[in-house]
Structure 1
Amino acid sequence: MSDDMHDEKARASAWFRQLRDEIVAAFEGLEDSQTSGPLASQPAGRFEVSETRRQGGDGEDAGGGLMSVMRGGRVFEKVGVNISTVYGKLGDRAQAAMMARKGMPGMKDDPRFWASGISLVAHMQNPHCPAVHMNTRMFWTPHGWWFGGGSDLNPCIEYEEDTAHFHAVQKAHCERHDADFYPRFKAWADEYFYIPHRHRARGVGGIFLDDHNSGDWEADFAFIQDVGRAFLPAFQPVTEKRRDTPWSEADKDAQLVHRGLYAEYNLVYDRGTKFGLETGHDANAVLMSLPPMAKWV
């Protein structure tokens, strides 16, 4: 393994692109198969794809990615599936965050970084279909590397069997690698996706991990791939089960209020939002996670 991990970076970046393509195809398939309900007569939703670019502090190209967003579909009111591979030098605030999290005192002397990943957030038309978030990523500096990510479910109207299914799929994929992973990363998600100023969780949880480096890159890469592979079998059956459920104005109101909580969390606490904005990535791509409509009471 070379110091710059060129081959490993290329493999990780290619995997995130493959996962993106699979999810985009599956979501457009859900749109095509939605042939009943109040929105069935409108055209099936399709992703609008645009390139994103990041400029380094010296004005040079510093990577970019693809932003894929679907709006106003039959099933999805707004869903984004973004990938990016960016690089350059970390600014002072990002350096401080990295040193605090990973204990990398050399960042001041050599602040180079490379990061690649996929980020997904889906807000649904039907209030009985839960919103969902998923991301996986690899981060590298000359002082170390790590993987992070996870997936969590955010229903405004919870069905216990849907929550149980989502967690069961996450658990099964985690247990392929280590029996301790699911309970550890579930607890981490419960702690991370908590909104302190509201004294409540953002949703019903899932798994979350960060700074993951066992010392075996191949094993860690295999695990983060399974974190990504778990997403569609965890989320798609729940959507297919609930997308034809009739909803009321009260249901829609509950959904909009819950989206307000989601927006508060992402703007105040989310690490990915803070990192993306601080490192100069495309602001529209970073803020893709925000819902199309929300409400505060």
Structure 2
Amino acid sequence: MTEDFQSEKQRASAWFRTLRDEIVATFEALEDSQTTGPFADQPAGRFEVSETTRASDDGSDAGGGLMSVMRGGRVFEKVGVNVSTVYGTLGERAQAAMAARKGLPGMKDDPRFWASGISLVAHMQNPHSPAVHMNTRMFWTPHAWWFGGGSDLNPCIEYAEDTAHFHAVQKDHCDRHDATYYPRLKAWADEYFFIPHRGRARGVGGIFLDDHNTGDWQADFGFIQDVGRAFLPAFVPVTEKRRNTPWTEADKDTQLIHRGLYAEYNLVYDRGTKFGLETGHDANAVLMSLPPMAKWV
């Protein structure tokens, strides 16, 4: 495979930035509309935006992105929305891992890569309002290209109707492309977001995909766009429903313990965390997903 895919790369990178802008604006609007509850008398949360960079071995330009983090808001205790476009050559460990997992032995001879995507994690003030994760990305090497990502809901106090709504929106957006996508990607999420050492899932699931390449870049790009478009209609109505639910100290304790579970998963198992740290991306951006406070028993 020799195509540089320059036009496709530019389109994908631009889309992830557009999605980021829409999500940031929607979350700040949620902050503005929160006029009741224990945090209503404090200023509405706003994202702090900083540029991130990827460190290359030889000091050459290796790309970067934007890290947008809101802390201590009325609705969001901590939420990060990152976009990045990075490139360069993979180190030996990453080459070996990709060759083994992706079946790309040619990476040793030509280890160039390009990757772009959006990554989001939100931790909420109200324990009844679920945390959430979403990411979508495109990855290119001279040997193959693919899309990946997904979205999953992580309540510490579960409501069946919230789970049903979140999954229904994911299914609707998947079904627009292929009726087999949602059941397969739901099962994949159930497997991927499982914590073996705890013997349980980290949340109530969603969808997950990787190595998505049907051979039709345009169709696959359209699908990954709909994975991103599904996020706000899946998550925002649940947030609006739960953000004013009264909570107790016991509820908050339950939330902090669940956040410990979330942190364990992201530090031990998450592929994105491992890849970001191994390839030299800004550590603060990579670890943005960690909760502001957590507790272990």
TM over 0.5: yes
Separation in 1 of the partners of 2:96 and 2:27?
38
User: 1:2 Cα shift?
Assistant: 7.4
SS in 2 for 1:114: strand
What is the aligned-residue RMSD (CA, Å)?
A: 0.8
- For residues 66-106 of structure 1, give each alpha carbon's deviation from its aligned partner in whole angstroms, at most 9, with x where no partner exists: 00000000000000000000000001111112112221111
Match of 2:75 in 1: 75
Match of 2:291 in 1: 291
**What amino acid does structure 2 have at the position aligned with 1:233?**
P
- Tell me the matched-pair count: 297
Match of 1:183 in 2: 183
Match of 1:146 in 2: 146
TM-score normalized by the length of structure 1 = 0.99
- For residues 153-199 of structure 1, give each alpha carbon's deviation from its aligned partner in whole angstroms, at most 9, with x where no partner exists: 00000000000000000000000000000000000000000000000
- For residues 244-267 of structure 1, give each alpha carbon's deviation from its aligned partner in whole angstroms, at most 9, with x where no partner exists: 000000000000000000000000
**What amino acid does structure 2 have at the position aligned with 1:11?**
R
Where in structure 2 are there 5+ consecutive unaligned residues? none
Match of 2:109 in 1: 109
User: 1:61 Cα shift?
Assistant: 1.5
User: 1:30 Cα shift?
Assistant: 0.2
Does the 8 A contact of 2:50 with 2:66 survive in 1?
A: yes
SS in 2 for 1:225: helix
Match of 2:223 in 1: 223
Q: Does 1:119 align with 2:119?
A: yes
Where in structure 1 are there 5+ consecutive unaligned residues? none
Match of 1:171 in 2: 171
SS in 2 for 1:84: strand
Does the 8 A contact of 2:2 with 2:142 survive in 1?
A: no
Match of 1:91 in 2: 91
Separation in 1 of the partners of 2:188 and 2:93?
24
Does the 8 A contact of 2:170 with 2:206 survive in 1?
A: yes
TM-score normalized by the length of structure 2 = 0.99
Match of 2:160 in 1: 160
SS in 2 for 1:139: strand
**What amino acid does structure 1 have at the position aligned with 2:200?**
R
- For residues 132-166 of structure 1, give each alpha carbon's deviation from its aligned partner in whole angstroms, at most 9, with x where no partner exists: 00000000000010000000000000000000000
- For residues 228-247 of structure 1, give each alpha carbon's deviation from its aligned partner in whole angstroms, at most 9, with x where no partner exists: 00000000000000000000
**What amino acid does structure 2 have at the position aligned with 1:4?**
D
Separation in 2 of the partners of 1:60 and 1:141?
19
User: 1:216 Cα shift?
Assistant: 0.5
Q: Which runs of 4+ in 1 moved over 3 A?
A: none
